[in-house]
Every structure is written in structure tokens, then in C-alpha cells.
Amino acid sequence: MPKTIVWFRQDLRLQDNPALIKAAARGQIIPIYIWDPSQTRKIGAASKWWLHHSLQALSKSFSDINISLILRSGHPEQVLTDLVQETGADGLFWNRCYEPDLIARDQKIKSHFKDQGLQVESFNGSLCIEPWEVLNGQGLPYKVYSPFWRAALQKIHFPNQDKTSELIGHDGKLESDQLEDWQFLPKINWDKDFYEHWQPGEEGAWQKFEAFLENGLSQYKAGRDFPDLKATSFLSPHLHFGEISLPMIWRRLDMLSDIKPELQTNIAKFKSELGWREFNHHLIYHFPETVDQPFRGAFEAFPWGEDDSHLTAWQQGMTGYPFVDAGMRELWHTGTMHNRVRMVVASFLTKHLLIHWKEGEKWFWDTLLDADLANNIAGWQWAAGSGADAAPYFRIFNPTAQGQKFDPDGAYIRRWVPELKNLPTKYLYEPSVAPKSILEEAGIKMGTDYPMPIVDHKMARERALSAYQQIKK
């Protein structure tokens, strides 16, 4: 019977997994996850937490059908070579990754094992459409989201879901590392609140999706910008680790659209946000240099500043701007941050503080559970003004006005900046201007209980615009 190694990566699920479906149709499967400590861009601490629990869930799913998920560490080519020799496997299947370093690695591995006579195949297991399938009329990649998504929508088509054949595991005992030995979980207890908010793994992904369909979808378009509302899907870490399939999501949304026409506007908006994820992967595939270089070349000359005290204040949610601080504290406690607030805190770092977007990207990479290279890079470059389809640089978010508009009752700020919870809403967004009597009544001493603003908004805005004028010349 043919034996196929299924190399799991960012596709930690059994349902609608193309590589697994095709391998199962051949015969025996040998599922493996490889931890490569030498990988160029090491995953962040929060992502390691998620990966530990996701692998634990995937291992249990296999164990429930009497198959062992093999865990091994080392360089993938060597690990796979050893496994081929141990098992006599004649096939190697995986679902594609789109990060530049991983593409180069995978191409080398595919070529090597094809030369050894193995059947080697890769599949799309994480995107709606491959990056090379959406090009403009000149055959070039899109650089603006709207025309990209219009073109992509014309090509996205998901036929009926392929059924997975009965999964038959390898009939011999194979060595496997112990997940605990990889030490992905933190030694200190900074992750304790993650367990309240998240259940990594395929089951947790479906629970989040079902909860969104029931409670969030009907208010998605109007409510998605308000961080205190549960109007978003909370699917981003599940999507990054491939615990839920985009075709299954898409088909479910189409079915709902037919049954409940009143949801069509919200469904279209949600799909368009999935479209940004597609666009970000399109960009990193076609413009791999943007991982560490500005998409807009003029920004090479931008006069970024350095201020460690300002960077630390931003990281710790102690800038003196409550809406910004609420977002940074939400990130630390939950491993995520509402998308509207992500834009505000990123704008604040790059424009109010003139700190390089790479510093923000680095912090998000380490602290976000959904840290995804394509999304992280594109999001930060967009916020800094250097990215594709970025808003005009002069659009500098006013963090006070953003809080007033998108947290009108102050519930989000009061949750994450509890030292301000007794302030009247009128002063909640800018406590530094509150009368002394109001502050005393709320039990707040500015500079002691809560910091004064680390920069003045008007001055910071003018400084940012002046810096931009330098590169425009």
C-alpha cells in the first residue's frame, strides 16, 4: 500500500485539509509536524503558546482515530529524509505557505524529494485563491486593494467539498518528540488570561465561527469598528494556524445568504475583510522585499526617531492617551487587539512618536496570538504610510477623537484602563484636561495614578507632517 507523509504546517486541522484528503486517497498516511529552531524568523512568544495547544488538539484528533501525530525538531529536509528511510514512504504532501523564506525552502525540498523518486505535491490549504491567479490587465500584481478584490471575487469558486477517505495510519511504531520538551509555554504566568478568551484547535475554531454567525454577523458592518461590541469573528489566530478552512467558511456564508437575505450586506462586508487577508498574502508573495523594506521607496529616507522611553510607554499602555493604552493592555492580557484600535495604536507609534514601524511590527509579532507575517507587515506599512494602498500620510488619527467616536460610552477604556473607570465620560478620553476637582472625586492623581500624555497631539501631528515633507522633496 502506498505511504504518504503529510507534513503539517499552518493547516492544523483534519476537516477539509487538501493535503490530507489527497494523501488518504493514496493509502497509509504518516502525519508529522516539524519544529525548526533554525528558522530565519522565529515565531513570537504568544504564537508559541497557541501552537502548543493547537498541536495538542491536533494530536488528540489523530489519537481518537488511532493514528499518531509525529513531532520532530530539526531542519525539515533532514527530518523528512530520515522519516522516508524509516517508513519507506513513497509520497510527500503538504499545504503551501506563502512567506518568502518558506517558499524558497519548500521549493528546494520539493525538488530534492522528486529527484529521490517520491510523489511530491503541495496544495492550497489556507487562501481563497492563489496569489499568482489574480493579476491586472497587464499581467502584473495589483497594488491597490479594491481592484484586486473585485478581480479576485470573479475567480473565487469552491466546488463541493472533497470527502476525506478513511484515514489509515502507518503500521509501525515511530519515534516522536514530546510536545512539552519543546518548551513553548512561558515559564512565568503571563499567559493566564489567554485561557479565558481562547481555545486553540479545530474545535475552538468552529465554536468561534458559530458564535460569530449567531451573535456577531447581523451587526458586523455597523458594529465592527466598535471595540466594546462583540461584532467581529475572533477567527484570525484560527485562520493563521489553519484550524478552520476558508472554503467551508465561504460555503457556509453563501448558504446563509440564500436563507437570510437580510444578512447579505453583512456577509459581503465580512468577505471583504477576508479579502484584505488575501491581498496581504498577494503582496508578500509578489513583493517579498517588503518584509523589511518600505513598499513605497521614498520612505527609505523618512527621518524616523528613536526614543526608548516612548517605545516602552507605548508597549506598556502608559502613553497618557486612554484609547491607545486600552488597546495595548488588551493585547497584553488577551493576545489580540480589536482591528480599529490596531490602526490607532499603530498610527500613534509611527506618527505621534515617529518610531519606525519595524519596532511596532516586532512587538506585535511577539505578543499577538494571530501574528501572521503577511498581515503584520502589510498592516504596519499601511499605518506608517509606506505600504500598498496606504491612506494619505496626512491622515493622522487623533487618539482622543477616535476614542470618543468608537467607544462612545467609554466601556472599552474602563475595562482595560480601570484606574480611570470613575471619571465622567466627558473627561475619560483626555483625563489630563479634567478639572482638579473632577480628578479628585474620581480618585485620580495625574502623573501618579495615570500618566500625563507623553506627547502633545497638535505638536506631534505638525512634527509628523514636517517629516513627511522632507521625503516628498
The better pLDDT of the pair 87, 389 is held by 87
Distance CA 443, CA 438 (A): 9
Mean pLDDT of 323-352: 97
Same domain, 74 and 138: no
Same domain, 153 and 60: no
* CATH (domain of 321): 1.10.579.10
Q: Specify whether 49 is catalytic.
A: no
On the question of pLDDT at 338 being above 80, the answer is yes
Read off the pLDDT of residues 44-100 as tens digits, 9 standing for 90 and up. 999 999 999 999 999 999 999 999 999 999 999 999 999 999 999 999 999 999 999
Question: How does residue 164 score in pLDDT terms, banded at 50, 70 and 90?
Answer: confident
The better pLDDT of the pair 83, 171 is held by 83
Q: Specify whether 250 is catalytic.
A: no
pLDDT score of 465: 95
1, 208, 383 from 342: Cα distances, Å: 51, 21, 9
Considering the domain boundaries, does residue 195 fall inside one?
A: no
Same domain, 436 and 413: yes
Considering the domain boundaries, does residue 170 fall inside one?
A: no
pLDDT score of 189: 86
pLDDT score of 356: 97
Query: How many domains, the chain?
Result: 3
Considering the domain boundaries, does residue 184 fall inside one?
A: no
On the question of pLDDT at 190 being above 80, the answer is yes
Distance CA 35, CA 74 (A): 6
Question: How does residue 389 score in pLDDT terms, banded at 50, 70 and 90?
Answer: confident
The catalytic position among 175, 180, 210, 273 is 273
Q: What is the 3-state secondary structure (H, E, C) of 78-133?
A: HHHHHHHHHHCCCEEEEECCCCHHHHHHHHHHHHHHHHCCCEEEEECCCCCCCHHH
Rounded (5°) CA angle 167-21-48: 90
Same domain, 314 and 362: yes
The catalytic position among 35, 49, 276, 314 is 276
Question: How does residue 159 score in pLDDT terms, banded at 50, 70 and 90?
Answer: confident
Considering the domain boundaries, does residue 418 fall inside one?
A: yes
Considering the domain boundaries, does residue 439 fall inside one?
A: yes
Read off the pLDDT of residues 104-119 as tens digits, 9 standing for 90 and up. 999 999 999 999 999 9
Mean pLDDT of 213-227: 96
Question: How does residue 390 score in pLDDT terms, banded at 50, 70 and 90?
Answer: confident
pLDDT score of 472: 77
pLDDT score of 324: 98
Mean pLDDT of 436-443: 96
Question: Which among 98, 125, 152 is the end of a domain?
Answer: 125
Same domain, 346 and 370: yes
The catalytic position among 133, 206, 339, 422 is 339
Read off the pLDDT of residues 25-34 as tens digits, 9 standing for 90 and up. 999 999 999 9
On the question of pLDDT at 172 being above 90, the answer is no
Same domain, 253 and 308: no
CB 124: neighbour CB atoms within 10 A? 17
Considering the domain boundaries, does residue 385 fall inside one?
A: yes
Same domain, 314 and 439: yes
Considering the domain boundaries, does residue 291 fall inside one?
A: no
Distance CA 174, CA 185 (A): 25
pLDDT score of 405: 98
Same domain, 143 and 237: yes
Mean pLDDT of 319-346: 97
Q: Specify whether 363 is catalytic.
A: no
Same domain, 144 and 38: no
pLDDT over 90 for what percent of the chain?
92
Question: Which among 286, 307, 339 is the end of a domain?
Answer: 286
Q: Specify whether 339 is catalytic.
A: yes
Distance CA 363, CA 328 (A): 10
* CATH (domain of 210): 1.25.40.80
The catalytic position among 35, 50, 363, 380 is 380
Considering the domain boundaries, does residue 185 fall inside one?
A: no
Q: What is the 3-state secondary structure (H, E, C) of the chain?
A: CCEEEEEECCCCCCCCCHHHHHHHHHCEEEEEEEECCCCCCCCCHHHHHHHHHHHHHHHHHHHCCCCCCEEEECCHHHHHHHHHHHHCCCEEEEECCCCHHHHHHHHHHHHHHHHCCCEEEEECCCCCCCHHHCCCCCCCCCCCHHHHHHHHHHHCCCCCCCCCCCCEECCCCCCCCCHHHHCCCCCCCCCCCHHHHCCCCHHHHHHHHHHHHHHHHHHHHHHCCCCCCCCCCCCHHHHHCCCCCHHHHHHHHHHHHHHCHHHHHHHHHHHHHHHHHHHHHHHHHHCHHHHCCCCCHHHHHCCCECCHHHHHHHHHCCCCCHHHHHHHHHHHHHCCCCHHHHHHHHHHHHHHCCECHHHHHHHHHHHCCCCCHHHHHHHHHHHHCCCCCCCCCCCCCCHHHHHHHHCCCCHHHHHHCHHHCCCCHHHHCCHHHCCHHHHHHCCCCECCCECCCCCCHHHHHHHHHHHHHHHHC
Same domain, 149 and 63: no
* CATH (domain of 68): 3.40.50.620
Read off the pLDDT of residues 275-313 as tens digits, 9 standing for 90 and up. 999 999 999 999 999 999 999 999 999 999 999 999 999
Same domain, 59 and 7: yes
pLDDT score of 39: 83
Residue-number span of the structural domain to which 228 is assigned: 127-160+200-286
Question: How does residue 395 score in pLDDT terms, banded at 50, 70 and 90?
Answer: confident
Same domain, 281 and 391: no
Q: What is the mean pLDDT of the chain?
A: 96
Question: Which among 108, 125, 142 is the end of a domain?
Answer: 125
pLDDT over 70 for what percent of the chain?
100
On the question of pLDDT at 442 being above 90, the answer is yes
pLDDT score of 394: 81
On the question of pLDDT at 391 being above 80, the answer is no
Write down the residue that cell numbers 485562520 correspond to: 239
| Cβ(451)–Cβ(419) below 8 Å | no
Mean pLDDT of 243-269: 96
On the question of pLDDT at 232 being above 80, the answer is yes
